[in-house]
Amino acid sequence: MRILPCADSGLLVELDDLDQVLALHAALTERTLPGVVDLVPAARTLLVSLDPEHADRRALVEVIREAPLTGGELVDRGLLTVPVVYDGADLGEVSRLTGLSRREVVRAHTGTEWRVAFGGFAPGFGYLVGGDPRLEVPRRGESRTSVPAGSVGLAGKFSGVYPKASPGGWQLIGRTELEIWRTDRDPPALLRPGVRVRFEEGS
């Protein structure tokens, strides 16, 4: 574990892998820590955002160093079924990169239960893990300036759904009509950390 300061506004905790990130996130979420305003989990890091006026950074570093880094199971926030039309612009490219046929890509994507590990990038975007390892593909060489809302993509070991039209560099394999982000709904995000996801082929 490395703890890297972000001036007085945060501590970036660098860990070995996502499991450790989730374990530390779970351990810190359980505690009331004065001056901690937010926790931002990512693939290999947990950012502890601080209110500099109320945070005791030395005490926090102690708490972080002593936290358990195993057994950080995600809280189960239920199963969400996401209907997808698999006609994404990069389906052919994903098929080429993986050596699977288009049908096999679809079967692999719908064949396992995914779960939301963490958010970031944009409101309502969730990084989904737990997919078929054959689906690991790099990001596109060049980002698109606008990816339509509802696009379903792959990058690295992650899958995700674009909550609204935005720039993006993931390989697009399909789209869903499901509104995964609405600010007039509570909670606004359907894909929150801990939600399990089944993709289902629709027409």
Binding-site member from 19, 43, 104, 130 for other proteins (CB under 8 A): 43
Nearest distance in Å: CB 81, other proteins: 20
Euclidean distance between CA atoms 79 and 180, whole angstroms: 14
Identity of the residue, 25 or 86, whose beta carbon is nearer to other proteins in the bound complex: 25
Task: Rule CB under 8 A: say whether 196 interacts with other proteins.
Answer: no
Among the residue ranges 74-82, 107-115, 128-136, 186-194, the one whose residues contact other proteins (CB under 8 A): 186-194
Among the residue ranges 66-74, 97-105, 106-114, 175-183, the one whose residues contact other proteins (CB under 8 A): 175-183
Task: Rule CB under 8 A: say whether 187 interacts with other proteins.
Answer: yes
Task: Rule CB under 8 A: say whether 123 interacts with other proteins.
Answer: yes
Residues 4-33 that bind other proteins (CB under 8 A): 4-10, 12
Binding-site member from 41, 150, 153, 168 for other proteins (CB under 8 A): 41
- Applying CB under 8 A, which residues contact other proteins? 4-10, 12, 37-47, 49, 52, 118-126, 163-164, 181-183, 187-189, 192-193
